[in-house]
Amino acid sequence: MFSVRDMGVDLGTANTLVYVKGKGIVLREPSVVAMRTDTGAIEAVGTEAKQMIGRTPGNIVAVRPLKDGVIADFQTTSTMLRHFIRQAMKTKSNWSGKPRVMISVPSGITAVEKRAVEDAALEAGAKDAQTIEEPMAAAIGAGLPVGEPTGSMVVDIGGGTTEVAIISLGGIVTSRSIRVAGDELDEAIIQYIKKSYNLMIGERTAEELKIQIGTAIPGLEEGQMDIRGRDLLTGLPKNFTVNAKEIGEALSDTVSSIIEAVKVTLEKSPPELAADIMDRGIVLTGGGALLRHLDKRLSDETGMPVVVAENPLDCVAVGTGKALDNYDVYRRRSAMMRKAQGRA
Ligand SMILES: Nc1ncnc2c1ncn2[C@@H]1O[C@H](COP(=O)(O)OP(=O)(O)OP(=O)(O)O)[C@@H](O)[C@H]1O
């Protein structure tokens, strides 16, 4: 007899990751679904669907169902979640029964949406499902001592949302979630290129520019990249070269918004916890933490030490996996919250 292995799912706006207890991360796919507009039938999910963004014929659309940091399209989110959970179950030949699933969700989603995410996991074959707030999962995954009476601060910069939280004794003391993260950085690049060069580029090209030559401090990076866009005057494709300084300038205001959210959260922190954070430093997680010199700029502007977590893209998924060890605690907590909401 093999034991059932439980699963943690990072249901992100940009990427979905599945962590299987005892195996680690077994699935890592973009949170994208391609569907036929006429019948609603699913054409592709994940990497294959992401490649279709901006390239679909009229009868197919490639959508990101969680694009704006919330579940924008619930039905499609459920379908995608089901697909990934089933795929992850196939990666292990010796499942003996149904797994319990811990799913991280953006902290801004409603109780009804949380319930619906859990239902989607049940439909996919889970025995039971619970949700955990993304910044809590990120902090656990980054190895912060969340259960201790000491303040830890995590800034999770994903695709759709930046979640800033101060955690102590297993709970979120104060937090802020803004819809400014990787997608907004990409959009800032699109707007900059449009304004400076009269050229239109797609969101995937903008993301590539950000990843390859982006910087949070303009002037600190060398480098350039050749790209292709559409000339807005002639309507024709055109090749051109952009340098790191320009991309740094394009990103600067959006980076400032993220830093402002961190400052506001710090200002609301009880003094004892602020002192703990001063000792340990602010921990950056999520793909956005990989933007060059973001740690330095945040440290310069807040006067606090800042560290980038090891494998920032994996922290939330690893955190959901570790949270499986306390599955019953989360289960009891959400049952209590549901009861309290029912009474209110
Ligand atoms: N090297 C890099 N530099 C800058 N940004 C990066 C880098 N690598 C990935 N990203 C960005 O990180 C974002 C995805 O991060 P992540 O997978 O943590 O998000 P998510 O968890 O899906 O989103 P959310 O937390 O909003 O639900 C994308 O916007 C991507 O462009």
Domain containing 296: what range? 137-180+256-312
Residues 6+ apart with CB under 8 A from 34: 42, 43, 44, 45, 48, 49, 52, 56, 60, 61, 62, 63
Residues 6+ apart with CB under 8 A from 196: 246
Give the domain CATH number at 96. Answer: 3.30.420.40
| Co-location of 214 and 265 in the same domain | no
Residues 7-41 have pLDDT tens digits of 999 999 899 999 998 889 999 999 999 998 888 88
Question: Is residue 1 in a domain?
Answer: no
Rounded to two decimals, the pTM is 0.91
Residues with CB under 6 A from ligand 1: 10, 12-15, 69, 106, 134, 156, 158-161, 181-183, 207, 210-211, 214, 286-288, 290-291, 313, 316
Tell me what the mean pLDDT of segment 256-272 comes to.
95
Question: Is residue 77 in a domain?
Answer: yes
| Co-location of 20 and 52 in the same domain | yes
Question: Is residue 290 in a domain?
Answer: yes
The structural domain count of the chain equals 3
Distance 182 CA to ligand 1 centre (A): 6
User: What is the structure's pLDDT at 240?
Assistant: 92
Determine if residue 170 is left, alpha or beta; phi over 0 gives left, psi from -120 to 50 gives alpha, anything else beta.
left
Site to probe by mutation for ligand 1, drawn from 9, 211, 311 as the one with most ligand atoms within 8 Å of Cβ, is 211
Tell me what the mean pLDDT of segment 41-64 comes to.
85
Question: Is residue 151 in a domain?
Answer: yes
User: What is the structure's pLDDT at 3?
Assistant: 45
Structure tokens at 188: 């800032």
209 is in an annotated binding site: yes
The separation between the first and the last C-alpha atoms of the chain, rounded to the nearest angstrom, is 46
Specify the DSSP element, H or E, that contains 275.
helix 271-280
Q: Are the C-beta atoms of 49 and 142 separated by less than 8 Å?
A: no
- Angstrom distance (rounded) from CA 113 to CA 68: 14
Question: Is residue 208 in a domain?
Answer: yes
Residue 173: strand, helix, or coil: strand
| Co-location of 35 and 121 in the same domain | yes
Residues 6+ apart with CB under 8 A from 89: 7, 95, 99, 125
Last residue of a domain, which of 224, 251, 278?
A: 251
In 136-223, at which residue ranges do the beta strands (DSSP E only) sit?
Answer: 152-157, 162-168, 171-178, 199-200
In 106-223, at which residue ranges do the beta strands (DSSP E only) sit?
Answer: 128-133, 152-157, 162-168, 171-178, 199-200
| Co-location of 216 and 246 in the same domain | yes
Residues 210-237 have pLDDT tens digits of 999 999 999 888 899 999 999 999 999 9
Distance 144 CA to ligand 1 centre (A): 20
User: What is the structure's pLDDT at 57?
Assistant: 76
| Co-location of 223 and 156 in the same domain | no
Structure tokens at 282: 């602010």
| Co-location of 56 and 119 in the same domain | yes
In 12-113, at which residue ranges do the beta strands (DSSP E only) sit?
Answer: 15-20, 24-30, 33-36, 42-45, 60-63, 100-105
User: Can you name the residues that pair with 239 across neighbouring β-strands?
Assistant: 228
Residues 76-115 have pLDDT tens digits of 888 899 899 888 887 655 566 788 999 998 777 788 888 8
| Co-location of 301 and 152 in the same domain | yes
User: Whose alpha carbon is nearest atom 8 of ligand 1?
Assistant: 287
Residues 6+ apart with CB under 8 A from 203: 53, 54, 183, 186, 187, 190
User: Can you name the residues that pair with 231 across neighbouring β-strands?
Assistant: 199
Give the domain CATH number at 195. Answer: 3.90.640.10
> What is the percentage of the chain residues whose pLDDT exceeds 90?
64
Last residue of a domain, which of 251, 282, 302?
A: 251
Question: Is residue 172 in a domain?
Answer: yes
Mode of pairing for the β-strands spanning 100-105 and 60-63: unpaired
250 is in an annotated binding site: no
Distance 33 CA to ligand 1 centre (A): 18
Max CA distance (Å), the chain:
68
Confidence of residue 286 (pLDDT cuts 50, 70, 90): very high
Displacement of CA 166 from its chain's centroid (Å): 18
Question: Is residue 100 in a domain?
Answer: yes
Q: At what angle do helices 111-123 and 74-90 cross, to 10 degrees?
A: 40
User: What is the structure's pLDDT at 117?
Assistant: 86
| Co-location of 23 and 119 in the same domain | yes
Distance 291 CA to ligand 1 centre (A): 9
| Co-location of 295 and 176 in the same domain | yes
Which residue from 320, 310, 308 is spatially nearest to 26, judged by alpha carbons? 320
Distance 256 CA to ligand 1 centre (A): 17
Last residue of a domain, which of 199, 218, 251?
A: 251
Residues 153-192 have pLDDT tens digits of 999 999 989 999 999 998 899 999 999 999 999 999 999 9
| Co-location of 19 and 125 in the same domain | yes
Neighbours of 186 (CB within 10 A): 25
| Co-location of 82 and 153 in the same domain | no
Does pLDDT of 343 surpass 90?
no
Question: Is residue 166 in a domain?
Answer: yes
| Co-location of 67 and 97 in the same domain | yes
